[in-house]
């Protein structure tokens, strides 16, 4: 509303949140058009509707200046995806009308034969899109995002992964179900095209890097637990745990999990309840009696309590890690958290944080199509997170096989 006039009514996607301490400022991307016509005034004879149209077209032409190379790449991608969709519709019909084979088995056989070829077609188009998107300035990005979504969303939102990431039903990207989608059967969707597209998106570098991150964390837990066998249980703290898939797998598959105590913290109550249920299932499946505690806290609450000398129960850990949250936090806040983590571990304990690398080759796709905005870091920015006022024994910065995930591993020394 502006001056009692309705300007917009429709869907919107939250793209950014800023907590000022007094109010929460929300930035949203509008899915539909403004209400450009003051129709009631026109009907009442108080406004010239023809003049309104002229003003609208002048503003529209000014605001919708999309670069020609960008248009061409988007048009080529839309054409390619429409062609693949048309071909896979025929596959759908064939699968659904078959009577000599089980449909699920036939579908899996066909997908196994075509999925790599589809990925071979989709990824080069994404590469070209990344290239032209890099030429778009910050001031022009909004209109280019609107354009590509108008052209491609009707085709690609059939992918459950892309749809959830874009719509953000819990209000933020990276929620527990989106994480689950990256780890389970990729063939989700209501058609062959939706399933194959979903598969292709789940095999892009950032998603593969996320799966690699889970493996890295499990290997770390195994290594740290084995190093303390016969001495004491390994105490672990995980900030912004999400579904804690690495803990679920650790409990199900590794006997070392009998020798561990885990504290999981997340700001979202629904996420914690979901995670509690999945962890309990994993404990039962693995026959574990591992102690797991759950805490609902925000980063702001955690840092504020620490500054006031509270949260004394969050001390004496062997491993403190945060995998994913730093992608959404400023350098200043991340530095404060790493400093806090270093005080939470025992001498010889480890602090591990992860971040998506600035070299992410799918940055534009994530921002333009998925409204998935991250704060990227390079090695120097990761190194800058190491605290100066805490004794540090060693620091290593590594990347996963894709180069998209960076890991900062700090071993805290004696004070």
Per-residue pLDDT of 89-130, as tens digits, reads: 999 999 888 878 888 899 999 999 999 999 998 999 999 999
CATH architecture, domain defined by 206-412 = 3-Layer(aba) Sandwich (3.40)
Domain boundaries, the chain: 12-63, 68-203, 206-412
Query: Looking at residue 224, what is its pLDDT?
Result: 95
Q: Structure pTM?
A: 0.85
Q: Residues 294, 299, 300, 303: is their CA dihedral positive or negative?
A: positive
pLDDT digits (tens, 9 = 90+) for 335-346: 999 999 999 999
Give, for 296, the enclosing helix (H) or strand (E): strand 291-296
Per-residue DSSP letter, 347: E
What long-range pairs does 302-305 form, CB within 8 A, spacing at least 24? 302/239, 302/265, 302/337, 302/340, 303/333, 303/336, 303/337, 303/340
Name which residue leads in pLDDT, 231 or 207: 207
**Residue 204: which pLDDT band, with cuts at 50, 70 and 90?**
very high
pLDDT digits (tens, 9 = 90+) for 236-295: 999 999 999 999 999 999 999 999 999 999 999 999 999 999 999 999 999 999 999 999
Q: Residues 251, 256, 259, 265: is their CA dihedral positive or negative?
A: negative
Query: Looking at residue 21, what is its pLDDT?
Result: 38
Strand 260-266 relative to strand 24-30: parallel, antiparallel, unpaired?
A: unpaired
Q: How many residues does the chain have?
A: 415
Q: Evaluate if residue 27 carries a pLDDT over 80.
A: no
Name which residue leads in pLDDT, 48 or 33: 48
Q: For 171-271, where are the E strands, in sequence order?
A: 234-239, 260-266
Q: Among candidates 146, 312, 318, 307, which has minimal Cα distance to 229?
A: 318
Query: How many C-alpha atoms does 138 have within 13 Å on its Cβ side?
Result: 0
Query: Looking at residue 22, what is its pLDDT?
Result: 37
User: Rounded to an integer, what distance in angstroms lies between the CA atom of residue 131 and that of residue 128?
Assistant: 5
């Amino acid at each position: 509303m502006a001056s009692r006039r309705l300007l917009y009514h429709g869907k919107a996607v939250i793209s950014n949140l800023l907590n000022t301490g007094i109010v929460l400022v929300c930035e949203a991307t509008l899915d539909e058009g403004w209400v450009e016509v003051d129709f009631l005034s026109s009907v009442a004879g108080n406004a010239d509707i023809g003049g309104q149209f002229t003003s609208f077209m002048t503003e529209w032409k000014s605001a919708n200046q999309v670069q020609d190379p960008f248009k061409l790449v988007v048009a080529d991608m839309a054409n390619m995806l429409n062609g693949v969709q048309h071909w896979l519709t025929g596959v759908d019909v064939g699968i659904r009308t078959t009577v000599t084979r089980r449909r699920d088995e036939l579908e899996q056989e066909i997908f196994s034969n075509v999925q790599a070829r589809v990925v071979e077609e989709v990824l080069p188009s994404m590469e070209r899109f990344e290239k032209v998107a890099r030429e778009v300035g910050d001031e022009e990005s909004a209109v280019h995002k609107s354009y590509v979504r108008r052209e491609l969303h009707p085709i690609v939102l059939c992918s459950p992964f892309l749809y959830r990431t874009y719509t953000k039903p819990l209000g933020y990207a990276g929620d527990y179900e989106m994480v689950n989608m990256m780890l389970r059967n990729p063939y989700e969707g209501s058609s062959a095209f939706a399933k194959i597209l979903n598969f292709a998106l789940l095999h892009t570098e950032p998603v593969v890097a996320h799966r690699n991150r889970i493996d890295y964390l499990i290997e770390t837990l195994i290594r740290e637990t084995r190093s303390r066998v016969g001495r004491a249980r390994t105490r672990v703290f995980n900030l912004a745990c999400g579904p804690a898939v690495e803990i679920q797998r650790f409990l199900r598959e590794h006997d070392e999990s009998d020798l561990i105590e885990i504290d999981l913290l997340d700001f979202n109550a629904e996420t914690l309840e979901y995670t509690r249920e999945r962890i309990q299932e994993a404990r039962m499946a693995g026959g574990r009696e591992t102690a797991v505690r759950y805490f609902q806290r925000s980063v702001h609450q955690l840092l504020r309590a620490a500054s006031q000398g509270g949260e004394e129960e969050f001390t004496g850990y062997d491993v403190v890690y945060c995998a994913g949250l730093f992608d959404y936090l400023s350098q200043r806040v991340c530095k404060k958290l790493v400093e806090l983590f270093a005080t939470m571990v025992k001498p010889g304990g480890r602090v591990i944080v992860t971040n998506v690398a600035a070299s992410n080759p799918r940055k534009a796709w994530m921002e333009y199509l998925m409204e998935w905005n991250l704060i990227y870091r390079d090695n120097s920015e990761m190194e800058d997170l190491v605290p100066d006022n805490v004794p540090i024994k060693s620091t290593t910065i590594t990347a996963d096989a894709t180069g998209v995930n960076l890991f900062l591993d700090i071993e805290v020394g004696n004070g």
